[in-house]
């Protein structure tokens, strides 16, 4: 930003409300990026319009103010994208882009499986270019994944159901639980029903015996406690109501080496649930890969030395999962288990504050090998300086830094880096999200 000055005074503002419940105000001449990559004046924004970042306008109105207020001009070049979140303007600093860089590298130099959870719907061009599979999860998509999928190697315990039951509990908690989560009685009932619905599958693990949410719903209905009825009713909308996208058997063959789950079209509440379910699907893959050995070719060392195939999992917009207590707790658990079983999780999040928000979540921080840190907001920088012992000089690399500039933390080492990816490459064209570059690709 440069040349901050008062441009004019106004007594009228546009107020725009988005489908996710957020709202912002601006002048009528303020330019807003729409879903097609065009800048539209706020005065011309209408309900129903699709904006950049997957937002839908549900209301656009004009507000009369009691007195004139100043409007500032901050001269932001058009080529920069900005996102609005909770009143803070966060500069796009290249988080997703660096994940894409790392993904293409891992694809070319390892034999590992790569799975991406893509809440913004932006990884498809890269994944398709690499011959991968994009699974679109939305109420209208022909693709489905079943949150009840169970791999019999699912966990180390004698009973493979234990971790699955944890997962279903946290899923129900997202669906049913209010602020306090589920009551102990409710947890007991769900756990009992989970064991019931898997009985046939455990006796005869053929795909047609795999339960779906509807079976869990049915089992709950058959219980005597009134709490069971309460949970069943909360679940109903996900079984026979308008949010039934997760009440189907998995009907995509998720065998590809690189898979992207595009959950952009899920609404706000469903998105969290979607990320949680994808995380569980990835866990299934990790458990399968645990036993699979592939041969390393080309690399140094004999070609016949087996090496365990790792499962790399990239979670963009990870803060969505960290915000909610239940999904945060499950993410922490999965993070540890992933590492133990040859999984390589990578969380991509807007700011580090999310990671330091609780003792539990801090565990993720402590269980990570490296931190790739891009531009940070002022408040966050202070927290970082304190918690991670970063010197003022090092902080300058994450202060108003440009795309692809930041700090890499690895063990006790902190390395500043500048990584400007060449733009005249085929790879850049499938990785960039800048509207003018995407349409030109
Ligand atoms: N290292 C880089 N080299 C060249 N261009 C880059 C680099 N990093 C980012 N860019 C450009 O900046 C754009 C925005 O980056 P990116 O989408 O990764 O931001 P982000 O931090 O994920 O933002 P958001 O908060 O919106 O998710 C990219 O699409 C790309 O065009
Ligand atoms: Mg991003």
CATH code for 146-249? 1.10.8
The tens-digit pLDDT sequence of the chain (441 residues) is 445 667 788 888 899 998 877 788 888 888 787 877 777 889 999 999 998 767 899 999 998 988 888 777 655 444 344 433 322 334 467 889 999 999 999 999 888 999 999 999 999 999 999 999 999 999 888 899 999 998 877 666 667 788 888 889 989 988 887 667 788 999 999 999 999 999 999 999 898 999 999 999 999 999 999 999 999 999 998 999 878 889 999 988 778 999 999 999 998 778 888 988 998 889 888 888 876 655 444 343 445 555 668 899 999 988 888 877 777 888 888 888 888 888 888 988 876 777 776 777 778 877 788 888 888 877 778 877 777 788 888 888 888 788 888 888 887 788 888 888 999 999 999 999 887 787 544
CB of 419 shorter than 6 A to ligand 1:
yes
Assigned CATH topology for domain 93-135+258-441? Rossmann fold (3.40.50)
Q: How far is it, in rounded angstroms, from Cα 113 to Cα 310?
A: 6
**CB-based contacts of 376, cutoff 8 Å, min separation 6:** 351, 352, 384, 398, 399
Instruction: Work out the number of other CB atoms within 10 angstroms of the CB of residue 330.
Output: 23
Question: In degrees, to the nearest 5, what angle opens at C-alpha 367 toward C-alphas 361 and 369?
Answer: 130
Instruction: Work out the number of other CB atoms within 10 angstroms of the CB of residue 312.
Output: 22
Identify residues whose C-beta is under 5 A from ligand 2, the ion. 95-96
Long-range contacts, stretch 2-6, CB < 8 angstroms, 24+ apart: 2/74, 2/75, 3/73, 3/74, 3/75, 4/72, 4/73, 4/74, 4/75, 5/72, 5/73, 6/70, 6/71, 6/72, 6/73
Separation of 348 CA from ligand 2 center, angstroms? 8
Class of the domain covering 5-78:
mainly beta
Separation of 224 CA from ligand 2 center, angstroms? 47
Taking the model in full, what pTM does it have? 0.75
The preferred substitution site among 78, 83, 86, 97 for testing ligand 1, maximizing ligand atoms within 8 Å of CB, is 97
The structural domains of the chain, with segments of one domain joined by +, span 5-78, 93-135+258-441, 146-249
**CB-based contacts of 270, cutoff 8 Å, min separation 6:** 243, 245
Helices 226-239, 213-221: axis angle to 10 degrees equals 150
CB of 421 shorter than 6 A to ligand 1:
yes
CB of 418 shorter than 6 A to ligand 1:
no
């Amino acid at each position: 930003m440069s040349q901050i000055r008062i441009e004019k005074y106004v007594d009228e503002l546009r107020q725009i409300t988005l489908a996710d419940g957020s709202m912002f105000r601006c002048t009528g001449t303020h330019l807003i990026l729409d879903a097609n990559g065009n800048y539209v004046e706020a005065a011309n924004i209408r309900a129903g319009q699709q904006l950049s970042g997957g937002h839908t306008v549900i209301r656009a109105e004009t507000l009369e103010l009691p007195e004139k207020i100043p409007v500032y001009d901050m001269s932001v070049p058009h080529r920069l994208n900005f996102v609005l979140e909770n009143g803070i303007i966060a500069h796009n600093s290249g988080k997703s882009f660096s994940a894409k860089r790392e993904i293409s590298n891992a694809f070319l130099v390892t034999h590992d499986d790569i799975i991406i959870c893509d809440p913004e719907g932006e990884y498809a061009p890269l994944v398709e270019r690499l011959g991968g599979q994009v699974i679109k999860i939305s109420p209208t998509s022909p693709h489905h994944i079943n949150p009840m999928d169970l791999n019999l190697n699912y966990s180390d315990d004698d009973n493979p159901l234990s971790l699955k039951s944890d997962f279903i509990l946290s899923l129900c908690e997202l669906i049913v639980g209010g602020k306090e989560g589920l009551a102990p009685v409710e947890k007991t009932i769900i756990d009992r029903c989970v064991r019931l619905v898997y009985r046939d599958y455990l006796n005869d693990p053929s795909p047609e015996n795999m339960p779906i949410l509807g079976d869990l719903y049915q089992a709950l209905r058959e219980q005597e406690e009134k709490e069971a009825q309460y949970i069943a009713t909360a679940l109903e909308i996900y079984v026979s109501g308008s949010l039934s996208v997760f009440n189907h058997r998995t009907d995509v063959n998720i065998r590809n080496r690189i898979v992207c789950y595009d959950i952009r079209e899920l609404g706000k509440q469903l998105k969290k649930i979607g990320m949680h379910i994808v995380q569980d699907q990835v866990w299934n893959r990790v458990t399968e890969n645990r036993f699979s050995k592939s041969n390393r070719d080309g690399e140094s060392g004999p070609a016949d030395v087996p090496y365990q195939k790792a499962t790399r999992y990239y979670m963009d917009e990870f803060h969505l999962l960290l915000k909610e207590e239940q999904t945060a707790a499950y993410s922490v658990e999965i993070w540890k288990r992933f590492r133990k079983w040859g999984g390589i999780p990578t969380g991509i999040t807007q700011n580090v504050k999310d990671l330091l928000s609780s003792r539990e979540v801090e565990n993720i921080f402590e269980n990570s090998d490296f931190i790739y840190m891009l531009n940070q907001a002022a408040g966050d920088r202070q927290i970082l300086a304190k918690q991670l012992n970063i010197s003022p000089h090092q902080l300058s690399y994450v202060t108003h830094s440009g795309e692809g500039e930041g700090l890499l933390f690895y063990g006790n080492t902190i390395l500043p880096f500048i990584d400007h990816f060449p733009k005249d490459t085929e790879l850049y064209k499938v990785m960039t999200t800048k509207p003018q570059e995407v349409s030109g690709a």
